[in-house]
Amino acid sequence: MKLFIAALGTETNTFSPIPTGRSAFEDDLYLLSDASRTSRHWFAGPMREWRRLGEAEGYEVVESLSAFAQPAGPTRQDVWEELRDRILADLDAAGPVDMALLQLHGAMVADGEPDCEGELLRAIRARLGPEAIVGVELDLHCHLTDRMVSAASVVLAYKEYPHIDVDDRARDLFQLCHDARAGRTRPVVAVADCRMLGVWRTPQEPVRGFVDRMSAAEGKDGVLSLSFVHGFPWADVPEVGAKIIAVTDGDAHLARRTASHLAEEIWTLRDRTTERLLGLDEAVQMALSPPDGLTVLADVSDNAGAGSASDSTFLLRALVNAGARRCLTGCYWDPVAVRICMDAGEGARLSLRIGGKTSPMSGDPVDLHVRVLALRRDAFQTFGNGKQAMGDTVLLEADGLHLVLNALRTQTFHPDAYTQFGVALRDYDTVFVKSAQHFNAGFAPEADRVVYVGVEGSASPDFASLHLPSAARPLWPIVDNPFAIDPIRQGAA
């Protein structure tokens, strides 16, 4: 029995000013065949799980590429083709394969390919034939396409946002595919289109209850697996938007009915799952007159995890102008400023131009007189069961305001992005992070409150204003009721 495994991911924000080239993968995760044995990267977690589980069940494990790039703009066509061809060449060289498991993001767009994962899966299925089992794990922020679903035997997505269940879902997928390969089940996949753009935070009600009900229904009455695909709104591609996946044991009608019911439930909950974010002035006011305890504020509009630059200065400039104190803010992607600080050394005082370098969506740079409090070379932060590289990283002080700058673009995932410098979150009244939700897993347990802030930026949460002419059907909240405009959608997955 032969098991083939590979991992390929990036999340493409088609509005991002940053192109995704080869170095974006090499800087983050790019291992040709041994990530399961050598990498601590969170995206390689499923590869570690599949090797362990596969070998325990007596499979010969053939491991291919593991590659991940920080979310940004479209991937260069030649880079995407090289990544795809690397996996397909490994598959060709593997000989007959019984089962293939793929860890894919599902929102990768190349210059000439709006559905990279669909094309990869189509090519894999064409090579393996109809009998092989092809299992696919997706980030819930994917664009689920008909091409992906029709090529896969089983497809599922992370259930949690923040993504704390990447390895759990990898184990689910292994078991589902292993059972199908052994003939114990006959998975059938159906998809329902929610026709919605949004952000759903799974620790919060009513989303928490929805996810828990979905999980509780799995493994019973013929239902094998259920996923709520949130979708990734910042991409002008045909299948952008939220969807439900239902996998049942041989019952296509049950799969379709279950997916439709869950999609209807998400649609019905839309007013309760829509949140009002703080504006810039309200966030600055909170930093100036902080409530008791520790407040963590998330700058969701400049989230590198959604393809933003992570160097925007709209909030920073306002905090500086207002004279905010006992306030920590980061992580600003600014390799030039970090390099200058590295050369100046710990304790140095200097004038530094910070952020605002990537595009007008990041605002203008902010000039500050800073003191270098601490430096870390090749820093890492925690994400889920793995690690995320930050590059060289520096903690600065400017008139009572503390800032963390780093050389390798990443969102702020975890408090250790800050506390590795020897500071504690409780040293501050307000702590700002450039992240939309992943920070929540580590920061929320330490904070008295978590507040989400929406300002200008390439990941602005103003979904109603997104320009998505390629979307193949009307979507809420761009329109109030997409089902009233286009009640019958032909060819829906």
| Residue for token pair 């189509």 | 122
Cβ(270)–Cβ(230) below 8 Å: no
Residue 107 vs 493, nearer CB to Zn ion? 107
- Select from 140-148, 234-242, 246-254, 333-341 the region that touches Zn ion (CB under 5 A): 140-148
**444: DSSP letter:** G
Positive or negative CA dihedral for 197, 202, 208, 214? positive
Q: How far apart are the first and last CA of the chain?
A: 31
Least Å distance, CB 158 to Zn ion, is 7
Cβ(197)–Cβ(261) below 8 Å: no
The residue within the footprint of Zn ion, chosen from 41, 51, 125, 141 (CB under 5 A), is 141
How many Å separate Cα 305 from the centre of its chain? 6
Least Å distance, CB 105 to Zn ion, is 7
Partnered with residue 432 across adjacent β-strands are 297, 329
Q: What gap in Å lies between CA 350 and CA 370, rounded to an integer?
A: 6
What's the number of CA atoms in the CB half-sphere (13 Å) around residue 204?
15
Binding of residue 139 to Zn ion (CB under 5 A)? yes
- Select from 139-147, 168-176, 215-223, 242-250 the region that touches Zn ion (CB under 5 A): 139-147
Residue closest to Zn ion (Cβ)? 141
Residue 90 vs 139, nearer CB to Zn ion? 139
Residue 137 vs 139, nearer CB to Zn ion? 139
Neighbouring C-beta atoms of residue 254, cutoff 10 Å: 17
Residue 9 vs 355, nearer CB to Zn ion? 9
Partnered with residue 223 across adjacent β-strands are 220, 248
- Select from 141-149, 249-257, 349-357, 451-459 the region that touches Zn ion (CB under 5 A): 141-149
Binding of residue 137 to Zn ion (CB under 5 A)? no
Least Å distance, CB 271 to Zn ion, is 24
- Select from 131-139, 251-259, 270-278, 284-292 the region that touches Zn ion (CB under 5 A): 131-139
Per-residue contact track with Zn ion, 88 to 127, x per CB under 5 A? ----------------------------------------
Return the beta strands (E) in 129-217 as ranges. 133-138, 154-157, 187-193
Binding of residue 159 to Zn ion (CB under 5 A)? no
Entry field: residues in the chain? 493
- Select from 133-141, 200-208, 250-258, 335-343 the region that touches Zn ion (CB under 5 A): 133-141
Residue 28 vs 139, nearer CB to Zn ion? 139
Least Å distance, CB 346 to Zn ion, is 36
Helix (H) or strand (E) holding 169: helix 166-181
**Contact positions vs Zn ion (CB under 5 A):** 139, 141
